[in-house]
Amino acid sequence: MAALEILGLAKSYPTGFWRKTLRPALSPLQLTVHEGETFGFLGPNGAGKTTTLKLLMGIIFPTSGSARILGRDFRDPDVKREVGFLPEQPYFYDYLSAPELLDYYARLSGVPEEERRKRIPELLERVGLADAGNKQLRKFSKGMLQRVGLAQAIIHNPRLIFFDEPMSGLDPIGRREVRELIQGLKDEGKTIFLTTHILSDAESLCDRVAIIHNGELRGIGVVEDLTSKSADKTEVAWRGAQALPAVSNLLAEEHVTGDIVRAVVASEQIDALLEKLRQQRAHVISVTPILGTLEDYFVAQTSGQKEVTV
Amino acid sequence: MIARLSAISFNTFREAVRDRVLYNLVFFALLLVAAAPLFGEISIGLEKLILVNVGLSAISIFGIIIAIFIGIGLVSKEIEKKTLYTILSRPVRRWEFIAGKYLGLIMTLVVNAAFMTAGFYLALLVASRGLGKDDAGLLVAIYFIILEFFIVTAITLLFSSFSSPILAAVFAFALFAIGSFAEDLRNFAALATGATKWLATGAAYLVPNFSALNVISQVAHSQSISGRLILLNTVYALLYSLTATIGAILIFERRNLK
Q: What's the CA gap between A268 and B258, in Å, rounded?
A: 51
Beta-carbon contacts below 8 Å between A and B: 75
Q: What pLDDT does A310 receive?
A: 38
**pLDDT, tens digit (0-9, with 9 covering 90-100), for A93-112:** 989 999 999 999 999 999 99
Would residue A64 be called left, alpha or beta, if left means φ above 0 and alpha means ψ between -120 and 50 degrees?
beta
In this predicted structure, the answer to whether residue A309 has a pLDDT above a threshold of 50 is: no
- DSSP at A33: E
Question: Smallest CA–CA separation between A89 and chain B, in Å?
Answer: 9
8 A C-beta contact, residue B121 and residue B131: yes
Residues with Cβ within 8 Å of A296's Cβ and at least 6 positions away in sequence, in order, are A227, A230
In this predicted structure, the answer to whether residue A308 has a pLDDT above a threshold of 50 is: no
Tell me the average pLDDT of chain A. Answer: 86
Question: Smallest CA–CA separation between B93 and chain A, in Å?
Answer: 7
Residues with Cβ within 8 Å of A189's Cβ and at least 6 positions away in sequence, in order, are A36
Q: What's the CA gap between B207 and A102, in Å, rounded?
A: 42
DSSP string across A67-104? EEETTEETT-GGGGGGEEEE-SS----TTSBHHHHHHH
In this predicted structure, the answer to whether residue A306 has a pLDDT above a threshold of 60 is: no
Q: Is A57–B85 a contact, with Cβ atoms under 8 angstroms apart?
A: yes
Candidates A90, A92, A95; nearest CB to B18: A95
Q: What's the CA gap between A130 and A108, in Å, rounded?
A: 22
Q: What is the residue type of B98?
A: I
Smallest Cα–Cα separation from B94: which of A92, A109, A59?
A: A59
What does residue B87 show for φ and ψ, rounded to 5 degrees?
-85, -50
Residues of A within 8 A of B92 (CB-CB) are 77, 80, 108
Pick the CATH number of A2-228 from 3.40.50.300, 3.40.50.1000, 2.30.30.90, 1.10.287.70: 3.40.50.300
Is the Cβ of B19 closer than 8 Å to some Cβ of chain A? yes
> Per-domain residue ranges for chain A?
2-228, 233-290
**What radius of gyration do chain B's Cα atoms show?**
20
Q: Is B89–A92 a contact, with Cβ atoms under 8 angstroms apart?
A: no
Q: What pLDDT does A215 receive?
A: 87
Residue B231 Cα distances to B107, B109, B237, B243, angstroms: 21, 21, 10, 18
Q: What pLDDT does B37 receive?
A: 64
DSSP string across chain B? -HHHHHHHHHHHHHHHHT-HHHHHHHHHHHHHHHHHHHHHHHSTT-HHHHHHHHHHHHHHHHHHHHHHHHHHHHHHHHHHTTHHHHHHTSS--HHHHHHHHHHHHHHHHHHHHHHHHHHHHHHHHHHHTS--SGGGGHHHHHHHHHHHHHHHHHHHHHHHTTS-HHHHHHHHHHHHHHHHTHHHHHHHHHH--HHHHHHHHHHHHHS--HHHH--HHHHHTTPPPPHHHHHHHHHHHHHHHHHHHHHHHHHHHTPPP-
In this predicted structure, the answer to whether residue A225 has a pLDDT above a threshold of 80 is: no
Q: What pLDDT does A228 receive?
A: 66
What does residue A26 show for φ and ψ, rounded to 5 degrees?
-150, 120
Is the Cβ of B178 closer than 8 Å to some Cβ of chain A? no
Q: Is B85–A87 a contact, with Cβ atoms under 8 angstroms apart?
A: yes
In this predicted structure, the answer to whether residue B184 has a pLDDT above a threshold of 90 is: no
CATH class given for the domain over A233-290 = alpha beta
8 A C-beta contact, residue A61 and residue A9: no
8 A C-beta contact, residue B64 and residue B152: yes
On whether the pTM is more than 0.90, the answer is: no
Residues of B within 8 A of A57 (CB-CB) are 85, 88-89
Residue A294 Cα distances to A41, A170, A200, A226, angstroms: 13, 22, 8, 7
**pLDDT, tens digit (0-9, with 9 covering 90-100), for A38-95:** 999 988 888 889 999 999 999 999 999 999 999 999 999 999 999 999 998 888 898 9
The pLDDT-based confidence of B218 (bands split at 50, 70, 90) is confident
Residues of A within 8 A of B14 (CB-CB) are 95-96
DSSP string across A259-280? TEEEEEEEGGGHHHHHHHHHHT
What is the mean predicted confidence (pLDDT) over A283-293? 81
Helix, coil or strand: residue A40:
strand
Smallest Cα–Cα separation from B109: which of B44, B157, B48, B60?
A: B60
**For the purposes of burial, counting CB atoms within 10 Å of the CB of A245, is it exposed (0-12), middle (13-18) or buried (19 or more)?**
exposed
**pLDDT, tens digit (0-9, with 9 covering 90-100), for B58-97:** 889 989 999 999 999 888 888 888 899 999 999 999 999 9
Candidates A59, A83, A91; nearest CB to B81: A91
In this predicted structure, the answer to whether residue B138 has a pLDDT above a threshold of 90 is: no
Is the Cβ of B14 closer than 8 Å to some Cβ of chain A? yes
Choose the most confident range, by mean pLDDT, from A150-159, A208-217, A261-270. Answer: A150-159
* A256: β partners: A261
What does residue A208 show for φ and ψ, rounded to 5 degrees?
-135, 155
Nearest chain B residue to A62 by CA distance is: B256
Q: What's the CA gap between B142 and B109, in Å, rounded?
A: 12
Instruction: Please report which helix (H) or strand (E) contains residue A150, including its range.
Output: helix A142-154
Mutation target to probe the A interface, by most A beta carbons within 10 A, among B13, B15, B74, B85 is: B85
In this predicted structure, the answer to whether residue A231 has a pLDDT above a threshold of 70 is: no
Query: ipTM score of the complex?
Result: 0.85
